[in-house]
Amino acid sequence: MRSLGVSGRVAQAMVVALAVATTSAGVQAQSTSAAGKQRAGSSQALERGRYLVMIGGCNDCHTPGFAVSGGKLPEKDWLVGDSVGFSGPWGITYASNLRLLVSNMTQQDWIKRAHSEMRPPMPAPSLHHMHEDDLKAVYRFIASLGPAGKPAPQYLPPGSKPTGPVVVFPTP
């Protein structure tokens, strides 16, 4: 093998060093863009969840004062449940605190709950029709808001006296 001489060896070492530097920079650039994509993916999922909550009208009942304010309440106040009851032939129901509910549930529990029975005026038939991917996006969005507020009052069976304000539905 031909001897490279001192300057040749230095040059070879530099080429090796440069190659290593270029490769690790490449790997770094790659992993940064993968993390970026993941972040963009999850922010897209949150955006979708927020959109579905908005068009699903969930805040109208599950956020105190939302409908009356014309939807002008900040996200930090969303979906904490309401102590204004809905009184009808079904008894008295209260829109649950979804922030606390979600913080105590896995995504799978949430999907199961969303497919199960709920009393009026919860638009359960609409929720039952929501695709699983959309339910997951709603779950992730509510989870991203974090737990807040206190549990809504317990359901009261027909004939019970409400302890606070109620919206009365006419009995047919």
Cα atoms in the Cβ-side hemisphere of radius 13 Å centred on 54: 12
Binding mask 73-112 for ligand HEC (x = CB under 6 A): -------------x------xxxx-x--x-----------
Nearer to ligand HEC, 78 or 86 (CB): 86
Sign, CA torsion 138/67/71/97: negative
Task: Select from 84, 118, 148, 166 the one that contacts ligand HEC (CB under 6 A).
Answer: 118
Nearer to ligand HEC, 31 or 108 (CB): 108
119 binds ligand HEC (CB under 6 A): yes
Residues whose CB is less than 8 angstroms from the CB of residue 120 and which lie 6 or more positions away in sequence, other chains included? 86, 88, 90, 93, 169
Question: What is the DSSP code (8-state) at residue 156?
Answer: B
Residue type, 117: E
Which residues sit at the interface with ligand HEC, rule CB under 6 A? Answer: 56-58, 60-62, 86, 93-96, 98, 101, 113-114, 118-119, 121-123, 127, 138, 155
